[in-house]
Amino acid sequence: MNYTLEKLKTCRYLYWGTFLFLGFLVLLGLASSAYMEHEGHYVTGMNNQIVWGLPHIFAVTLIVIASGVLNIASMSSAFDKKLYKPLAPLSALFAIAFLVSGLIILVLDLGRPDRLIVAMTTYNFKSIFAWNIFLYSGFFVILSIYIWTMLDFNVSKFSSVVGKLAFGWRIILTTGTGSIFGFLVAREAYSTAVLAPLFIIMSLLYGTAVFYLLLRIISKMQNITIPSEITVNIRKLIIIFLLANIYFLILYHITNLYISKQIAIEKFILLDGGGYTTMFWLGQVGFGLLIPLFFELTNKDNRDFPLTLTSIMVIVGGFFAVAVIIIGGQAFPLNIFPDHTIIESSFFDNNIHGYTPSIYEFGLGIGGTSLALIIILILITNLKFIPAKK
Amino acid sequence: MINRRKFLVKSATALAITFVVPSIISNKAHAKKPLAEKVSDKQSWGIHIDTSKCIDGCTACVDACNEENGLTGFGRPETDSQWIRKVTVKSNTTDKITTMPLMCQHCENPPCCDVCPTGASFKRIDGIVMVNQHTCIGCRYCMMACPFKARSFVHETLTQQNTNAPRGKGCVESCNLCVNRIDHGSETTACEDACNNLGHSAITFGDLNDKNSKISLAMNSNNPRRLRNDLNLDQKVFYSNI
């Protein structure tokens, strides 16, 4: 295919309108974070029971998406599918933008974000968190080089090699993200290796959905049409990833149900966890997996609208999926006395922990997400990322 | 001729030189053991709790810990720090009700130290698990990893902290077996003192390596067990008569 890469050529008002709107949200996120840090985390919904909250849901979702949006570039470089080559730079750009925004949310939620330099210079190599710091910064460097090799003709011969490296790195990176939870032996909802492949398949699904949505928006702004082969293939990919996601989700829960000591947490998530059960069945499973699957299986003529709707639902469902994992896993009380029932405790040991996120956490999450979008907007306006026919 | 004023000034100066200056230039003036002495693995500090002596409704250990470490709450129990807490449990098989204090279990293989990205959570060679308040970044991963919910995150700005217990907003903290006392040569913790003062003697602190220490003797006669033994964390806090 003969193609060239162009800058975004949308009307000035649309560009500045979008820029100012996203910029405002980014500032709102920064203000939320500054307020949380100045006052202390008591102003958030997080506490000593639910220690990770809405900012972590946003951050993990964005980092998972960052790995997943690279699918399109990986298919071009790692699997040599020529169809996707024109879209590969855009795919790598999305990955870097979502990675940066996810990490910034994580950092701004730290109790001591001013000690970032400590986190970057003092490592405990037994910690998967420390390994993730390497994986994330390595991914950033590899993606930057990858984009360079794709945009600069002089070094383009290296793009395939760097692309393959990026593909391998992203698989390890998402394994690392899943392992943050998988390595927590104390909590029944976690402590399983299945979480690592589950996170990988989640990243493939959410990333593909995000890529398609952003491609749709950019093509509208640029007034270009997405080639039908791309739509057909993305639809097929989403169906495969939806089925794989359902498979790993069933595997995760069946495994837990088979282990007697895990039955209580399964009962909590699947049956009597109140809001968490609702989030699981309606949000994660219904809205995020089954309805999109139905839409796409019936979308035999590959229409854009159902695919767009599917992508939106997958992303919203993905957000619920991460929420169920992060909040649901903490809400269930720790089993400190396995053959006893705690009847009294000043530290809420015998309670299902509730969590109501504050406006500041929401502000930080939305601000971070907007940061990803504004990075993309600025870069596609100033550098040539968008494919066009010669 | 010395007048009264000169006499008072000279006396005060002499007293200061004798008592005040050494305590300023040397921080080990009041220590039974010199602080400069290195922490050694000759000791393995631990706590034994005889739950049969722990009184329901008594919070002396909790109050003493709060006072020792300056843990003044803000009236927000969900976010206020608790280094030690009282829990009451009922056996699922015998309905026996037991009350006991619960704090950091000072694991030999502590999950909090395993997951800490900066190594701020660490275990000393004498077995005390604690947080380096200078390198904790407040990520709370250790709180996610602790099987006993023993850690608290400082959610609010603190003022007038005790000098013997450095604490700060945005860091994680937990029971450190009154490390400041131990390093100054004390052989009791605040919770143990408080429990003994009331005559309950449910808490025994001491050196697990010393076969004749009070904790070793208490353990010999009480068939102690660890909480969540299935996790193989080899905690240094033992419970009897649960």
Higher pLDDT, B41 or A206: A206
Domain count, chain A: 1
B179: which 2 tokens? 């490390």
Residue B27 has pLDDT above 60, yes or no: no
Mutate to test the interface with A, among B140, B143, B231, B233 (most CBs of A within 10 A): B140
Angle, vertex CA A121, rays to CA A115 and CA A123, nearest 5: 105
Instruction: Name the residue range of residue B148's domain.
Output: 45-240
User: Is B85 in Cβ contact with A340 (below 8 Å)?
Assistant: no
pLDDT value of residue B221: 83
Q: A120 to chain B nearest CA, in Å?
A: 9
| Residue among A133, A187, A340 whose CB faces B89 most closely | A340
Q: A176 to chain B nearest CA, in Å?
A: 13
pLDDT value of residue B28: 39
User: Is A342 in Cβ contact with B118 (below 8 Å)?
Assistant: no
End-to-end CA distance of chain B: 76
Q: What is the pLDDT of residues A320-366, one digit of tens each?
A: 999 999 999 999 999 999 999 999 999 999 999 999 999 999 999 99
How many interchain CB pairs under 8 A, A with B? 179
From the list A308, A295, A87, A82, the residue with the least C-alpha distance to A210 is A308
According to DSSP, the residues that pair with B121 across neighbouring strands are B131
Q: B147 to chain A nearest CA, in Å?
A: 5
| Residue among A51, A187, A342 whose CB faces B140 most closely | A51
Tell me what percent of chain A is helix, strand and coil, each rounded to the nearest 5.
75, 5, 20
Reported in sequence order, the residue ranges of B6-140 that DSSP labels E, i.e. its strands, are: 45-50, 84-91, 97-103, 121-123, 129-131
B110 found inside a domain: yes
B218: which 2 tokens? 């208490």
Q: What is the pLDDT of residues B10-23, one digit of tens each?
A: 777 777 676 655 54
B3 found inside a domain: no
What is the length of chain A?
390
For residue B147, give the 3-state DSSP assignment.
coil
Q: What is the pLDDT of residues B134-193, one digit of tens each?
A: 999 999 999 999 999 999 999 999 998 998 899 999 999 999 999 999 999 999 999 999
User: Is B146 in Cβ contact with A186 (below 8 Å)?
Assistant: yes
Chain B residues lying within 8 Å of A111, measured CB to CB: 136-140, 153-154, 169-172
Residue A311 has pLDDT above 60, yes or no: yes
Mutate to test the interface with A, among B94, B139, B142 (most CBs of A within 10 A): B139
Residues A158 and A164: beta-carbon distance below 8 Å: no
pLDDT value of residue A186: 87
Residues A342 and B88: beta-carbon distance below 8 Å: yes
Averaged over A298-308, what is the pLDDT?
Answer: 93
Where residue A43 sits, what CATH number does that domain have?
1.20.1630.10
Averaged over B18-44, what is the pLDDT?
Answer: 63
Averaged over B214-229, what is the pLDDT?
Answer: 92
User: Is A124 in Cβ contact with B135 (below 8 Å)?
Assistant: no
Mutate to test the interface with B, among A37, A38, A41, A48 (most CBs of B within 10 A): A48
Count H helices and E strands in chain B, helices first. 8, 9
Pick the residue from chain B with its C-alpha nearest to A112.
B137
pLDDT value of residue B1: 61
B62 found inside a domain: yes
Highest average pLDDT, of A9-13, A183-187, A348-352, B107-111, comes from: B107-111
- The conformation of residue B55, written as its DSSP 8-state character, comes to P
Chain B residues lying within 8 Å of A184, measured CB to CB: 111, 115, 144-145
Q: Does A277 touch chain B if contact means CB atoms closer than 8 Å? A: no
Residue A383 has pLDDT above 80, yes or no: yes
pLDDT value of residue A45: 97
For residue B48, give the 3-state DSSP assignment.
strand
Domain count, chain B: 1
ipTM of the complex, rounded to two decimals: 0.93
Where residue B113 sits, what CATH number does that domain have?
3.30.70.20
User: Is A340 in Cβ contact with B91 (below 8 Å)?
Assistant: yes
- The conformation of residue A52, written as its DSSP 8-state character, comes to S
End-to-end CA distance of chain A: 9
From the list B219, B229, B218, B225, the residue with the least C-alpha distance to B239 is B225
Residue B29 has pLDDT above 60, yes or no: no
Residue A200 has pLDDT above 80, yes or no: yes
Mean pLDDT of chain A: 95
A209: which 2 tokens? 């959905």
B10 found inside a domain: no
B150: which 2 tokens? 């023993």
pLDDT value of residue B7: 75
User: Is A111 in Cβ contact with B137 (below 8 Å)?
Assistant: yes
Q: B220 to chain A nearest CA, in Å?
A: 23
B147 found inside a domain: yes
From the list A259, A240, A247, the residue with the least C-alpha distance to A297 is A240
Mutate to test the interface with A, among B97, B102, B105, B149 (most CBs of A within 10 A): B149
User: Is A341 in Cβ contact with B92 (below 8 Å)?
Assistant: yes
Chain B residues lying within 8 Å of A128, measured CB to CB: 115
Instruction: Name the residue range of residue A314's domain.
Output: 3-389
Residues 6 or more apart whose CB falls under 8 angstroms from that of A250 comprise: none
Residues B172 and A111: beta-carbon distance below 8 Å: yes
Q: What is the pLDDT of residues A108-120, one digit of tens each?
A: 999 999 999 999 9
pLDDT value of residue A24: 98
Helix (H) or strand (E) holding A340: strand A340-345
From the list A19, A25, A57, A52, the residue with the least C-alpha distance to A331 is A52
Q: B188 to chain A nearest CA, in Å?
A: 25
Chain B residues lying within 8 Å of A41, measured CB to CB: 79, 153, 155, 170
Q: Does A41 touch chain B if contact means CB atoms closer than 8 Å? A: yes
Mutate to test the interface with B, among A35, A39, A44, A51 (most CBs of B within 10 A): A51
